[in-house]
Amino acid sequence: MPAKVQEIRKIITNFIKYTNRPLTSRMIANETGIDVNDVRKKVSHLLKEGFIKAVACEGREKIYVKNGNYELNKKSNPVGYKYDIIEKIYNIIGKTEITSSRQLETLTDISHKAVVKYLIAMVSMNYIKRENGYFKHTDKEICYDLVGKNITEGARKMVSGKVRGSSTKRKSTSSNSVLYDAQGREYPTKILDKQIVKRDKMVTKLLKKAKDLNERIAKEKAKMVAEIEDYLADTAEQYGENWKGNAELLSFNGSAKIEVKYKERIQFTEKLQIAKQKIDDCLIRWSEDSNINLQAVIREAFQVDKKGEVAKGRILSLRKYNIKDKEWKLAMDLINEAIEVTSTKQYIAFYEREDQNKSFNLITLNFSSIE
C-alpha cells in the first residue's frame, strides 16, 4: 500500500476511533481536510473490514459508527429513537432561535408529534434546556443511544411551554409593550398611532417568516447538492476517478433535467499591465494600415469602470483574434498568465417539459444567491 494511502487510512481510522459520535463521510472530510471522495473509498473498505458499521441514513449519506458503539436498535433503544432525527433537531436548535415545537416542525419537515417526542427525550437527558423561552443546548455532551431511555414530567412541561419563563406566557399586550425607533429610543405602544404599531407588528412577523423560509431553502439546497454530488462521485468512483466539471442529468423519459455548472471567478495579476503595453506598441506600429474598428475594440477592452476595474470578458475576448504578430502573441500569452482564479461558484438548475418535442422550462428557485 503506497505511503500516502496508508497515511490517509491512519488519519481516518484515528479520527473515527477517538471521535465519540456517529459520522458521515462528508463530516470526516470536513474535520480531517481529506478529499471527500478519498474518504468514501476508505470508509467503504473499513465497512467491509467491520471496523465501522452503518446505523442510519441522512438522504443518500450513510451514517457510520465504530463497531461496538451506539447500538441504535430496538434491543438497546426499545422506544426506537433514530440518530438522524436526533441530529437534525439538535443541530437546528444550535443554529436557530427556536421558541416552539411548531417552529421546529416547519424547519425540519418532521411531524409535530415526532418533534415533541424527541424534544421531551433530549430535555429529559439534559441535552437541551429552555431559557427565556428559547430552546438551547446545555454543556452536556450528547450520547445518542441514551436518548429516550428516561422521560421526565418536567421535560414534558418544559417542551409544552407550561413552565416559568416559557415564551407562551410572555405575550405582550398593546398596553404594556414598547417599540424602539432607529436611534434606539423607547416608545410605549399606547402613545403611538395604532397604524404604526400594526405596521411594525406585521413587518416584524413577516420578516421572521421570510428568514425562516430562507433558512429552510438553504437547508433543502444543501441536501439536494449533497445528493447530486454523491451521485456524481459514485459514478466516477466506479471507474477509479473523482468527478470534475459540469453535468447534465436527465430523467429516463426525458421530461426532467438537472444542470450542474461551475463558474470560476477570476482577477488579473500585474502581468496584464505588461500585456497592455505590448498591445499599445502593436497599435502604434499598425496605425497606418490596420483596421480602425479593430483598434477601437482593442482600446475599449482596457477601459475601466467607475470602480477602476477592467471588463474581464472584453480582455479575454482579445484572445480570439488570429493576429500573426510576435508581440501580439506574446501579449496574449501574458494575458493567459495574468488570469488568477479566486473562487469557484456552483450553479444548479432544475428544468421540466411536457414532452420531448418542447423546450425545457426552468423551475425558478434562485439557488445561486442562497449560500
- What is the average per-residue pLDDT within 207-214? 86
Residue boundaries of the structural domains of the chain = 3-66, 83-169, 186-244, 246-371
- pLDDT score of 368 more than 50: yes
Pick the range with the lowest mean pLDDT from 82-91, 130-139, 287-296, 334-343: 287-296
- pLDDT score of 317 more than 70: yes
- 364 pLDDT band, cuts 50/70/90, is confident
- 291 pLDDT band, cuts 50/70/90, is low
- 366 pLDDT band, cuts 50/70/90, is confident
On whether the CB atoms of residues 268 and 340 are closer than 8 A, the answer is: yes
pLDDT, residue 319, reads 86
Higher pLDDT, 311 or 206: 206
Q: Which of 59, 24, 54 is nearest to 40 (CA)?
A: 24
On whether the CB atoms of residues 29 and 3 are closer than 8 A, the answer is: no
- What is the average per-residue pLDDT within 339-358? 83
pLDDT in tens, 133-159: 888 898 887 777 678 778 888 888 888
Phi, psi of 343, deg, nearest 5: -165, 165
Q: Do domains 3-66 and 83-169 have the same CATH topology?
A: yes
pLDDT, residue 222, reads 81
pLDDT above 90 covers what percent of the chain? 8
Higher pLDDT, 249 or 46: 249
- pLDDT score of 306 more than 80: no
Q: What CATH number does domain 83-169 carry, 1.10.1220, 1.10.3470, 1.10.10, 1.10.260?
A: 1.10.10
- pLDDT score of 231 more than 70: yes
Query: Residue 157 and residue 147: Cα distance in Å, rounded?
Result: 18
- What is the average per-residue pLDDT within 91-104? 83
How far is C-alpha 63 from the chain's CA centre? Answer: 19
Max mean pLDDT range (16-20, 174-178, 179-183): 179-183
Backbone conformation region of residue 132, classed left if phi is above 0, alpha if psi is from -120 to 50, else beta:
left
- Mean pLDDT score of the chain, rounded to an integer? 79
pLDDT, residue 35, reads 87
- What is the average per-residue pLDDT within 180-205? 87
- pLDDT score of 355 more than 70: yes
Query: Residue 20 and residue 69: Cα distance in Å, rounded?
Result: 9
- pLDDT score of 74 more than 70: no
Distances (CA, A) of 352 to 272, 309, 365, 369: 43, 39, 13, 21
pLDDT, residue 352, reads 92
Residues 6+ apart with CB under 8 A from 243: 37, 229, 232, 233, 235, 236
In single-letter form, the type of residue at position 278 comes to: K
Max mean pLDDT range (139-143, 162-166, 177-181): 177-181
Query: Residue 254 and residue 193: Cα distance in Å, rounded?
Result: 58
pLDDT in tens, 255-264: 999 998 888 7
- pLDDT score of 233 more than 70: yes
pLDDT, residue 163, reads 41
- 248 pLDDT band, cuts 50/70/90, is very high
- What is the average per-residue pLDDT within 328-333? 90
- pLDDT score of 61 more than 90: no
pTM higher than the cut 0.75: no
pLDDT above 70 covers what percent of the chain? 84
Q: Determine whether domain 3-66 maps to CATH 1.10.10.10.
A: yes
- What is the average per-residue pLDDT within 30-49? 84
- pLDDT score of 2 more than 80: no
Query: Residue 108 and residue 212: Cα distance in Å, rounded?
Result: 11
- pLDDT score of 59 more than 80: no
pLDDT, residue 48, reads 78
